[in-house]
């Protein structure tokens, strides 16, 4: 959306006209829908440098998209052909106050115009009696039949063009695209959702799970966490499993964890060290005096080290291989009074079951379940000493 807005309104450093406090629209120039908030307009006589570059990059992107589709996902060649990222970076540099191309008026012209078009599209969709479930930076989730999409898009684009005409902008550049169609979707919070697709990038798929902002996409969670969350997502979005069956599954995992039967490879957490371990040690400064804090025993007080840094420091003492940026594999053995862990090679089978359950396994799925089955108090599963007969009653009371 942002590149289209830049091209439609000819947003560029060499086309900008600063209104110098006079925020009234000027018909001789291109006015954005948010000119009163940005205080600038743009000339139309010639194409700006940035829109011109984006136009050339867009043509090249079409070629590279085909080449990218033939590469292994995540490979160097895959990212080499991922020109969309390069195109989007142009807006990012407009808003980067440390960059050479920073211009707050240009950045606001892009973002506020994007918000304007998103709200306009949602307003039109509601007018057509469609339900808009969620609006993101550059996307809208709407309940609509597949066969009605193209005609609806044409209707919205006509309105977009009328707005562009009224602003004296270039018409036919700002468009909504249709890429993904969800059979079922679960919204957790803003920018956090997971869905079951039957169409992805305009291609028909079957039970393809797409997740954004949830832990199965994070590297600092152990395999057991990703395994459980993936299974819960499948139960909710593919199998339409009952609440009782989901609870039984979670209690089964909980019992395995409590009895110490979880395998080592399921518990390993990976986190990187971006500096040498000694560089993480800093004196604690008293905010009132501005001087280093001293403990009661007379020793200097230092900041606590992240758990992976402690493990890395021991690796160095044990003369194991370590380098800055290395992913440190560790297993948590206790979180009280503070988090402690051991390198996976030093693991003796003892781990903090309560920590893994409450922080790494149950917490991620609880957010999903609180949305899917809000009538059940899932937080009760955090009570570590809850009796087995109470859990059985909980299961039997679910209808």
Predicted pLDDT at 387: 58
For the stretch 174-230, pLDDT in tens is 988 888 899 999 998 888 899 999 988 778 889 999 888 776 667 688 999 999 999
pLDDT digits (tens, 9 = 90+) for 37-46: 998 999 999 9
Q: 271 φ, ψ to 5°? A: -140, 145
pLDDT for 263 beyond 60: yes
Provide the pLDDT for residue 391: 61
Phi first, then psi: give them for residue 328, nearest 5 degrees: -90, 120
Give 30's strand partners.
42
- How far apart are alpha carbons 32 and 10 in whole angstroms? 10
Q: Is the pLDDT of residue 393 over 70?
A: no
- Distance CA(185)–CA(198), nearest Å, equals 11
* 358-368 per-position pLDDT tens digit: 999 999 899 99
Query: What is the token pair recorded at 304?
Result: 């606590």
Checking if the pLDDT of 388 tops 60, the result is no
Q: Which of 9-13, 83-87, 380-384 has the lowest mean pLDDT?
A: 83-87
The rounded distance, in Å, linking the Cα atoms of 156 and 237 is 31
What is the average pLDDT across 377-394? 69
User: How many percent of the chain have pLDDT more than 90?
Assistant: 51
Question: pLDDT at position 385, please?
Answer: 62
**In angstroms, rounded to a whole number, what is the distance separating the alpha carbons of residues 108 and 226?**
38
pTM: 0.76
- Rg of the chain, C-alpha, whole Å: 27
The single residue listed with the structure tokens 């679960």 is 186
pLDDT at 28 over 70: yes
The per-residue pLDDT for 33 is: 93
Q: How far is 222 from 322, CA to CA, in rounded Å?
A: 21
Residue-level pLDDT at 307: 93
Mean pLDDT of the chain: 87
Four-point Cα dihedral 113, 90, 181, 154, nearest 10:
50
Which of 7-16, 88-97, 387-396 has the largest mean confidence? 7-16
**The predicted structure's pLDDT at residue 203:** 83
Higher pLDDT, 305 or 88: 305
Write down the pLDDT at residue 288: 80
Which of 106, 96, 95, 98 is CA-nearest to residue 51? 106
In the chain, the percentage of residues whose pLDDT exceeds 70 is: 91
Residue bearing tokens 């001087």: 291
pLDDT at 20: 73
């Amino acid at each position: 959306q942002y590149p289209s807005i830049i091209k439609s309104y000819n947003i560029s450093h060499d086309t900008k006209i600063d209104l110098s406090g006079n925020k009234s629209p000027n018909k001789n120039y291109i006015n954005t829908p948010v000119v009163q908030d940005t205080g600038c307009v743009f000339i139309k006589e010639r194409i700006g440098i940035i829109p011109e570059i984006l136009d050339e990059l867009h043509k090249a992107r079409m070629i590279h998209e085909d080449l990218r589709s033939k590469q292994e996902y995540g490979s160097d060649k895959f990212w080499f052909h991922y020109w969309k990222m390069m195109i989007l970076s142009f807006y990012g540099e407009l808003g980067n106050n440390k960059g050479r191309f920073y211009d707050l008026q240009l950045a606001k012209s892009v973002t506020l115009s994007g918000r304007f078009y998103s709200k306009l599209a949602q307003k039109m969709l509601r007018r057509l009696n469609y339900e808009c479930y969620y609006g993101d930076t550059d996307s809208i989730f709407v309940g609509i039949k597949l066969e009605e999409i193209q005609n609806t898009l044409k209707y919205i684009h006509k309105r977009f063009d009328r707005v562009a005409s009224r602003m004296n902008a270039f018409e036919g550049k700002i468009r909504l695209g249709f890429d993904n169609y969800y059979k079922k979707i679960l919204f957790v919070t803003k920018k956090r959702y997971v869905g079951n697709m039957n169409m992805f990038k305009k291609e028909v798929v079957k039970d393809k799970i797409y997740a954004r902002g949830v832990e199965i996409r994070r590297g600092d969670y152990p395999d057991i966490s990703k395994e459980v969350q993936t299974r819960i997502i499948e139960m909710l979005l593919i199998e339409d499993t009952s609440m009782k069956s989901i609870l039984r599954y979670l209690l089964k995992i909980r019992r395995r964890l409590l009895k110490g039967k979880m395998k080592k490879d399921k518990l390993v957490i990976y986190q990187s060290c971006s500096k040498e371990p000694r560089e993480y040690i800093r004196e604690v400064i008293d905010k009132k005096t501005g001087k280093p804090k001293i403990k009661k025993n007379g020793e200097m007080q230092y900041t606590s080290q992240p758990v992976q840094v402690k493990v890395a420091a021991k690796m160095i003492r044990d003369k194991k291989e370590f380098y800055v940026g290395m992913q440190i594999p560790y297993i948590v053995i206790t979180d009280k009074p503070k988090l402690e862990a051991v390198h996976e090679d030093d693991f003796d089978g003892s781990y903090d079951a309560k920590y893994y359950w409450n922080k790494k396994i149950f917490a991620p799925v609880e957010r999903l379940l609180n949305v899917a089955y809000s009538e059940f108090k899932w937080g009760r599963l955090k009570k570590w000493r809850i009796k087995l007969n109470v859990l059985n009653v909980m299961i039997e009371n679910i209808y």
